[in-house]
A and B are shown apart, each in its own frame.
Chain A
Amino acid sequence: MVKSQDLLTEVESKELLKKAGIPVVEAKLARSKKEAVSLSREMGFPVVLKISSPDVVHKSDSGGVKLGLANAAQVGKAYSEIVSSIKKAYPQAQIDGVSVQAMAPPGVEVIVGMSKDAQFGPVLMFGLGGILVEVLKDVSFRIVPVTERDAREMVKEIKGYPVLQGYRGQKPASIPALEQLIVKVSQFVEKNPQIKELDLNPIFAYPDKAVAVDARIILE
């Protein structure tokens, strides 16, 4: 667990990213079951609910995420379940509520992240998302500032590149959209030196665009 003020919530993180022109699936905070239902209606079903707590880093591991909720009844039930399982897993955690967002249609999952190197400062990482990033470590790095050319090389460098081009009838990911997103993240972290680490994980890449579905920002 981290100190509360260091870890921005998903809602806060996405707000900052959106302001910087980085495409995100917008998320809003619901402080009650009732609020969750009305936000879901506003955003349109199906929706996703996620725990909003500065103390919970791995949300899905502890039952803090519910996907594909199709109606108000499902949203209400999911709200209670999330809150109770987090209370069980992290009795000390401060719970702000749950974040509500539209369920993004499936795309190619990728990750873009930033961490700070002791010698070279902020570095960006790109890779295929999901378990591939953890198991295969099929990722590429570049030092900030990342130019368009660097971004192009980063995307091409990973072994999973053919997956992005649309493998076996799967829809391809827009490579230019990914490159632009990487460059924008580079500009964003350059302007905000107080950011210590950042994960856009996953990003869903589609044939015409790429959108961050989840985001996490950790401050110095």
Chain B
Amino acid sequence: MFEEKLKEFEPIFYPESIAVVGVSATSIKAGSLWVMDLRSAGFPGAIYPVGSSGGRIGDLEIFPNLRLVPGEVDYVIVAIPRQSVLELLDDCAAKNVKAVHFFTAGFSETDTQQGRKLEEQMLEKTRQGNMRIIGPNCIGVYCPEHRIPFLMGILGEDGSVGFVSQSGGIATKLATIGIARHINYSKGVSFGNGIDLDASDFLQYLAADPKTKVIGAYLEGTRDGARLFSTMKAVAKIKPLIVWKGGRTEAGAKAAMSHTGSLASSATIWSAMLKQVGAIEAHSLEELTDTLLIFQRLGHGRGTRAAIIGGLADGGGGNSVAAGDACLENGLSVPPLSFETKQKLSELLGEVGSILCNPVDVSQAQFRGLATLLQAIDLVVRDTISDIVLIQEDIEILLPIYSQKGLEEINGFLIELAGMQNKPIIVVLPPGSVEAERLRIERKLLAASIPVFSSMERAARAIYRLNQYCCRREAS
């Protein structure tokens, strides 16, 4: 479904040439930054800076007018004042440009007659010229595979997560959190006012895009609810779709005469709509990215049976209890370990002081050396009673016991084990008093595709959302 979008959107996500309009040789303008970002990202196609000043930017010539660019232009990034956009669209049409991204703001979002009128005129010119518009008032596309960064040179690794965002600020956060947490994107887009291409168009494209396996979205509203509804319904059937709706608490309750009307707030309706189309609702940036991280790692696999190691050294008892609660409250089951595993663990650790059920407390291992701890972890991970293993590491406790070298070994072992066993290992690293060390370990694990969360609750909630999705799919 939506395969026709692939060809249509090729010049947007894989342009062979990009012209940036609004570049100056002398002063730093947004357009100049875009040119430099594309250059340093290693964009593989031609880059044509355009600006009335002429001159050069770096090693590139600035063309005084788009029409003077010698080669073909697929895609244009526009960072000029709004008074000049209509004229520019004529130039774009003359150059046979396929798509135009307007960074330029000051249109309908200012809620002025003038802004709205200008958008109508832009749309008309775009239709005549057989072009597509992204924006205005947005930061446009992000495509690590084709080396297209977000503004300020933000560019992460190429991956399988796609996103759409109405807001440029949230789009940027998604990209940067992606870099930090190794949520690797196939494509992203911030579409701003969306006067031509909007959420529905990009969702359809991402549904068809073979590189994208899971889709995240930040939306505030829509101009065409019926289209968004039917699009989401179709898209969520093809790929997991996680949506964070911003602006849930809008004021201005309408005067309603029926019970139904008075109870139907916009937030309630959005939540119902998302349920109805089979999307997963996230309520914050944190929830959205947590869920994307879990989907990226676990795909469509269900993980309802959890083995939990609440702590690798002292303090694991209370953590284990809390971890068990977090999992059970989020629809995970925490089944007892098999008889065999329990027996082997008690041989290994001795029964005193350690809870050899599930959640497992393996803190006794600290008195028997690192190899014993690794063996204990190995036993728990291999036990077939679980689909998924959650391990909490409190770095400030582990560091004095095992030293930095020991921590390296423990986490190296987890990475190795996760690679060997076909079972997801999820690590919880709560913030504490040795942040630098904790962050180092977090990066190492994330880089090896082990999802890391700052609390058991966040991990459990993200897994819950995955299971919800899988459950619904199985039911349909």
In the bound complex, residues from chain A placing their C-beta under 8 Å from that of B264 are: 115, 117, 123, 125, 141
A120, B229: Cβ atoms closer than 8 Å: yes
> Which residues of B sit under 8 angstroms from A201, Cβ to Cβ?
259
Shortest B472–chain A CB gap in Å is 10
How near does chain B come to A154, taking the closest CB pair, in angstroms? Answer: 9
Q: Choose from B229, B260, B273, B275 the contact partner of A125 (Cβ within 8 Å).
A: B260
Q: Which secondary structure characterizes the binding site on chain B?
A: helix
Q: Across the interface, do A119 and B257 meet the contact criterion of CB distance under 8 Å?
A: no
Scan A123-167; emit 1 where CB is below 8 A from any B CB, else 0.
Answer: 111000000011001011111000001100100000000000000
Is B268 an interface residue, CB under 8 A from the partner?
yes
In the complex, the chain B residue whose C-beta lies closest to that of A2 is: B257
Q: Which residue of A lies closest to B275 (CB)?
A: A153
Q: Which of B260, B263, B272 contacts A143 (CB 8 A)?
A: B272
Closest Cβ of chain B to A138, distance in Å, is 10
Most buried by B among A141, A153, A218: A141
Any B CB within 8 A of the CB of A118: yes
- Shortest A196–chain B CB gap in Å is 8
Given the known A-B contacts A117-B264, A118-B266, A119-B225, are A140 and B272 also in contact in the complex, defined by CB atoms under 8 Å?
yes
A69 to chain B minimum Cβ distance, whole angstroms, is: 26
Residues in B whose Cβ lies below 8 Å from that of A124: 260
Q: Counting CB contacts under 8 A, is B336 at the interface?
A: no
Report yes or no: A115 in contact with B256, Cβ–Cβ below 8 A.
yes
Asked if B259 and A123 make an inter-chain contact with CB atoms under 8 angstroms apart, the answer reads no
Within 8 A of A (CB), among B29-47: none
Q: Cα distance A9–B261 when bound, in Å?
A: 18
Is the CB–CB distance between A143 and B273 below 8 Å?
yes
Q: Does A24 contact B (CB under 8 A)?
A: no
Q: Knowing A120-B226, A133-B263 touch, does A141 contact B258 (C-beta < 8 A)? A: no
B213-236 interface bits toward A, Cβ cutoff 8 Å, 1 = contact, 0 = none: 000000001100110110000000
| Inter-chain contact A123/B258, CB cutoff 8 Å | no
CA distance A121 to B264 in the complex (A): 12
Chain B contacts with A in 240-272, Cβ cutoff 8 A: 254, 256-261, 263-264, 266, 268-269, 272
Which residues of chain A have C-beta atoms less than 8 A from B338's C-beta?
none
Question: In this assembly, does A198 line the interface, its C-beta being within 8 Å of a C-beta of chain B?
Answer: yes
Q: Decide if B259 touches A119 in the complex (CB within 8 Å).
A: no
> In the assembled complex, how far is the CB of residue A9 from the closest CB belonging to chain B, in whole angstroms?
14
Within 8 A of B (CB), among A158-184: none
A218 touches B222 (CB 8 A): no
Asked whether B276 is an interface residue with its Cβ less than 8 Å from the other chain, the reply is yes
Inter-subunit contact A125/B263 (CB<8 Å): yes
Number of interface residues of B (CB under 8 A): 23
Q: When chains A and B are docked, how far (Å) is the Cα of A174 from the Cα of B228? A: 34
**Nearest-neighbor residue (CB-CB) of B224 within chain A:** A119
Contact B257 A114 (CB under 8 A): no
Q: B222: which A residues are within 8 A, CB to CB?
A: 119
Are A199 and B259 touching (Cβ within 8 A)? yes
Given A115-B264, A141-B264, A143-B229, A120 contacting B269 (CB threshold 8 A): yes
A59 within 8 A of partner (CB): no
Q: Of B229, B260, B266, which one neighbours A114 at CB under 8 angstroms?
A: B260
Task: Provide the residues of chain B in CB contact with A118, threshold 8 Å.
Answer: 254, 266
- CB contacts under 8 Å to A, within B203-217, are none
Q: Which residue of B lies closest to A142 (CB)?
A: B276
Contact A199 B258 (CB under 8 A): yes
Look across to chain A and name the residue whose beta carbon is closest to the beta carbon of B276: A142
Tell me if B263 and A139 are in contact (CB < 8 A).
Answer: yes
The interface size bin for chain A is: 20 to 34
A-B interface contact total, Cβ < 8 Å? 79
Contact A199 B269 (CB under 8 A): no
Q: What residues of A have a CB within 8 angstroms of the CB of B229 in the complex?
A: 120, 143
Decide yes or no whether A89 CB sits under 8 A from chain B.
Answer: no
* Whole-angstrom distance between the Cβ of B274 and the nearest chain A Cβ: 10
CA distance A147 to B225 in the complex (A): 18
B266 touches which of A7, A119, A199 (Cβ 8 Å): A119
A142 to B261, CA, bound (A): 13
Please indicate the chain A residues that have their CB under 8 angstroms from the CB of B221 in the complex. Answer: 119
A64 within 8 A of B: no
A111 located at the interface, meaning its Cβ lies under 8 Å from any Cβ of chain B in the complex:
yes
Q: How far is the CA of A2 from the CA of B256 in the complex (A)?
A: 11
Known: A118-B266, A123-B264, A141-B264. A134 touches B272 (CB 8 A): no
Within the complex, what minimum Cβ distance (angstroms) separates A168 from chain B?
27
Please report the C-alpha to C-alpha distance between residue A61 and residue B163 in the assembled complex, in whole angstroms: 51
A44 to B258, CA, bound (A): 31
The answer to whether the Cβ of A57 comes within 8 Å of any Cβ in the partner chain is yes
Measured between beta carbons, the chain B residues less than 8 angstroms from A153 are: 275-276
Contacts of B257 in A (CB 8 A): 2, 7, 57, 197, 218
Cβ of B18 to closest chain A Cβ, rounded Å? 34
A-side contacts of B258, CB under 8 Å: 113-115, 197-199, 216, 218
The answer to whether B260 and A199 have CB atoms under 8 Å apart is yes
Contact B266 A117, beta carbon cutoff 8 Å = yes
Which listed residue, A113, A117, A198, touches B269 by the CB 8 Å rule? A117
Encode B262-299 as 1/0 by CB contact (under 8 A) with A: 01101011001101100000000000000000000000
A119 neighbours in B (Cβ, 8 Å):
221-222, 225, 228, 266, 269
Cα A137 to Cα B273 with chains together (Å) = 18
A117 near B260 with CB under 8 A, answer no
From known contacts A117-B225, A120-B226, infer whether A198 and B260 are also in contact, taking CB-CB under 8 Å.
Answer: yes
Among B226, B259, B260, find the residue whose CB has the most chain A CB atoms closer than 10 A.
B260
Nearest CB of B to A96, in Å: 19
Complex partner residue of B226 from A111, A121, A125, A142, CB under 8 angstroms: A121
**Chain A nearest CB, measured from B390 CB (Å):** 29
Q: B268's closest neighbor in chain A, by CB? A: A141
In angstroms, Cα B259 to Cα A123, docked, is 13
5 intermolecular pairs with C-beta atoms under 8 Å apart: A113-B261, A119-B266, A133-B259, A137-B263, A199-B259
- Give the top 8 A-B pairs by smallest Cβ distance, nearest first: A113-B260, A119-B225, A141-B272, A115-B261, A120-B225, A197-B258, A115-B260, A125-B260
